[in-house]
Amino acid sequence: MLHTELASHLRTAFDDDRDADTFLLRLERYGPDLVESLTQVYGDQAPALLDGLIEVMLHAFHNRPPDLRRLDEARLLRPDWLQSPDMIGYVAYTDRFAGNLQGVRGKLDYLRGLSVKYLHLMPLLKPREGENDGGYAVQDYRAVRPDLGSMDDLSALARDLRGQGISLVLDLVLNHVAREHEWAEKARAGDPRYRAYFHIYPDRTQPDAFEATLPEVFPDFAPGNFTWDDAAGENGAGGWVWTTFNTYQWDVNWSNPQVFQEFLDIILYLANRGVEVFRLDAIAFIWKRLGTDSQNQPEVHWLTRALRAATRIVAPAVAFKAEAIVAPAQLIHYLGSRVHHGKVSDMAYHNSLMVQLWSSLASRDTTLFREALQAFPPKPATATWGLYARCHDDIGWAISDEDAARAGLNGDAHRRFLSDFYSGTFPGTFARGLVFQYNPATGDRRISGMAASLAGLEAALETGDEVGISTSIARLRLLHAVVLGFGGVPLLYMGDELAMLNDYGFETEPEHAPDNRWVHRPQMNWTLAEQARHDVNSPAGRMYAWLQKLVQARAATPHLHASVESRAVHSPDNRVLMLRRDHPLGTMLGIYNFSHEDVSFPTSALREHLGEQAEDRLSGGRLTFARPTVRLEPYRAMWLTEL
């Protein structure tokens, strides 16, 4: 229970008893989580920090717009809003999708055509000028990139989206700020308060000690994890600044309680502007510990839990999505395990699913896919996955040696095979991708490329191979059928709905040329989008029509509510992936042929899960399993539910 004296004191901060009751009831509900989490991280400093946080929360609560307060109440009544089968996400760069924020407001009809309910606009808060890591070097969290519009434009877009039932999703970079950020500028000017916001060392003693166990994120163009700055040290002397990602991105010091308060203030400010989901960027890196890789430390989860509890008190409509591209054993902690179960992020990326999709497509074998999924710990029923075939980032072959061994593979050899295959050097490959960040020390080669180019469409169009064109579209359709049939929030990456290809024009833009990830960050082709809606025989039209069909089938299939897990089950044919979902309405079985061949699949494997007959939610047909086999065409997908 909330302490009576504290409740009485806080009540004086309200003019309206109903507001006071709302705030105090939420504080009573989430306050213990907040206090416990702060105490775990900050110890004796927690009480003073809590006093400051209460002031921040009260200010944001009083300034929360009425329509967002109503949304808060609606979400409290429907806490599973992110888990619904009709939840479809779309991910785009604002400028590349529609020029600016006003332009996005003019494209809502297009988003409605795909039944989008979740719009993630890639980094749009004001970055540093020049090179800025694709917008992730933020100079001002309270301003929009000038060419995209203003903060008022962002609020107006959020209102329009809300009116259409679409939630606005924004990136919040937690690990670092731009060197030009106000905090860093004040630190360089000698202000001791702001120097304490960063990790700054007078010589290489501590940096070298940390470097002994730290990996390099961008070995090609940002080797090492520390950068010398002539003005960062005490009394105007120089210092070594922790810069995990790039020399111009200064890691902030989350062991300083004031940093926590600053970021909570930022979150609540943006929430009051209409942001409904925060993608917590680089969250795995925010706590540093000597002798480790300074990723996935226990304090990360206490800090996330504290941020979530404080945000729930002011803006319970808001959800957190963890951008943690880590091993499955670590990933589950970002959704909450043990004491954090259901109390940290509401959503996390299922990066492994994307990796396994492309792995199975290249090998035409799903054994590794099945082994990797079976090794995943179960997620909390209240959390959900963010699922995608492709995203704005490269594909890193995050395949563990243990999973590979269980599948009868050598992990290193398979990762090398995938890099060869998708960079176009493996004999007989259909893919057109680019190697990103080759690390000679580890042999690591990540891959850039649009889904359609990786799936073979680019090569087939160049040769006019009609069979190849149809086959590549079939591959893309299969990948998206798995994503939409897995359970979670499917995230459609801009252009994939039109089977758009690699954009090699990035090489002529000086700010993009060093980073080949821009090959899969094209300008939206609105002419192609218009054609796709009318010419269903073109590659774009076939892909667009298939996605619409998938979205409609998904919305009509309650078995895909994200509280239910997809489980990989044994398949009698390794070319075919089988995913089972046990819903109160009955079993659902996803069947996915990852090969270019017809497969005669034994119906006994289907009867084992579904009984004697089932409905295919994708074709609308009914299947009776009286015959010994059922034919699965190349890259065929079925969503079977028992009758």
CB-CB contact of 90 with 119 (8 Å): yes
CB-CB contact of 448 with 520 (8 Å): yes
Q: 488 pLDDT band (50/70/90 cuts)?
A: very high
Question: What pLDDT is attached to residue 328?
Answer: 81
Question: What pLDDT is attached to residue 1?
Answer: 40
Cα–Cα distance, 247 to 228 (Å, whole number): 9
Cα–Cα distance, 588 to 346 (Å, whole number): 24
> Is 281 among the residues known to form the active site?
yes
Q: Which of 33, 180, 276, 323 is catalytic?
A: 323
Cα–Cα distance, 551 to 288 (Å, whole number): 42
CB-CB contact of 546 with 531 (8 Å): no
CB-CB contact of 154 with 101 (8 Å): yes
**Six-digit token string for 140:** 């001002």
Amino acid letter for position 231: A
pTM for this entry: 0.95
Q: Which of 281, 393, 503, 565 is catalytic?
A: 281
CB-CB contact of 475 with 361 (8 Å): yes
Does the pLDDT at position 3 exceed 70?
no
Pairing relationship of beta strands 118-121 and 167-173 according to DSSP bridges: parallel
State mean pLDDT over 117-125. Answer: 97
Question: In sequence order, what are the residues at sequence separation of 6 or more whose Cβ sits closer than 8 angstroms to the Cβ of residue 324?
Answer: 283, 284, 296, 330, 331, 334, 348, 349
pLDDT tens digits, one per residue of 272-317: 999 999 999 999 999 999 999 999 999 999 999 999 999 999 999 9
**Six-digit token string for 42:** 């900050």
The β-bridge partners of 638 are: 591
> Could you identify the residue written with the tokens 């090398």?
416
Own/partner long-range contacts of 233-237 (Cβ < 8 Å, ≥24 apart): 233/200, 233/202, 234/190, 234/192, 234/195, 234/202, 235/190, 236/190, 237/202
DSSP code per residue over 13-38? T-SSHHHHHHHHHHHHHHHHHHHHHH
The β-bridge partners of 446 are: 436
Closest CA to 639 of 583, 574, 573: 583
Higher-scoring residue by pLDDT: 16, 412? 412
Strand blocks (E) in 15-156: 89-92, 118-121, 125-127, 138-144
- Beta-carbon neighbour count of residue 237 at 10 Å? 11
Question: What pLDDT is attached to residue 236?
Answer: 77
> Could you identify the residue written with the tokens 């979902």?
581
State mean pLDDT over 556-578. Answer: 97
Closest CA to 524 of 93, 161, 89: 93
Does the pLDDT at position 223 exceed 70?
yes
**Six-digit token string for 291:** 């002798």
Does the pLDDT at position 152 exceed 50?
yes
Question: What pLDDT is attached to residue 381?
Answer: 95
Cα–Cα distance, 335 to 394 (Å, whole number): 23
Phi, psi torsion values for 323, nearest 5 degrees: -95, 80
Determine the 3-state secondary structure of 488 from DSSP.
Answer: coil
Cα–Cα distance, 311 to 484 (Å, whole number): 30
State mean pLDDT over 416-425. Answer: 97
Question: What pLDDT is attached to residue 145?
Answer: 97
Crossing angle of helices 17-42 and 257-272, rounded to 10°: 150
Question: In sequence order, what are the residues at sequence separation of 6 or more whose Cβ sits closer than 8 angstroms to the Cβ of residue 259?
Answer: 197, 252, 253
Question: In sequence order, what are the residues at sequence separation of 6 or more whose Cβ sits closer than 8 angstroms to the Cβ of residue 35?
Answer: 46, 50
Question: What pLDDT is attached to residue 2?
Answer: 53
Crossing angle of helices 4-11 and 17-42, rounded to 10°: 130
Does the pLDDT at position 481 exceed 60?
yes
**Rounded percentage of the chain residues whose pLDDT exceeds 90:** 90
Sign of CA dihedral 179, 180, 186, 189: positive
CA trace torsion 272, 82, 543, 103 (10° rounding): -10
pLDDT tens digits, one per residue of 452-471: 999 999 999 999 999 999 99
Question: What pLDDT is attached to residue 441?
Answer: 74
**Six-digit token string for 205:** 């003693």
CB-CB contact of 283 with 175 (8 Å): yes
Q: Is 140 exposed, middle or buried (0-12, 13-18, 19+ CB in 10 A)?
A: middle
Cα–Cα distance, 327 to 347 (Å, whole number): 16
pLDDT tens digits, one per residue of 508-535: 998 899 899 999 999 999 999 999 989 9
Does the pLDDT at position 325 exceed 60?
yes
**Six-digit token string for 310:** 């404080």
Q: Is 357 exposed, middle or buried (0-12, 13-18, 19+ CB in 10 A)?
A: buried
pLDDT tens digits, one per residue of 353-375: 999 999 999 999 999 999 999 99
pLDDT tens digits, one per residue of 38-83: 999 999 999 999 999 999 999 999 999 999 999 999 999 999 999 9
The β-bridge partners of 592 are: 577, 637
Cα–Cα distance, 93 to 162 (Å, whole number): 19
- Across the chain, what does the average pLDDT equal? 95
Closest CA to 302 of 365, 345, 271: 345
Does the pLDDT at position 167 exceed 90?
yes
- Beta-carbon neighbour count of residue 258 at 10 Å? 16
State mean pLDDT over 219-229. Answer: 86
Cα–Cα distance, 13 to 520 (Å, whole number): 51
> Is 73 among the residues known to form the active site?
no
Does the pLDDT at position 11 exceed 90?
no
Determine the length of the chain: 643
DSSP code per residue over 190-222? T-HHHHTTB-EESSSHHHHHHHTT---SBTTTB
Determine the 3-state secondary structure of 557 from DSSP.
Answer: coil
Closest CA to 560 of 77, 79, 87: 87
**Six-digit token string for 449:** 């490329």
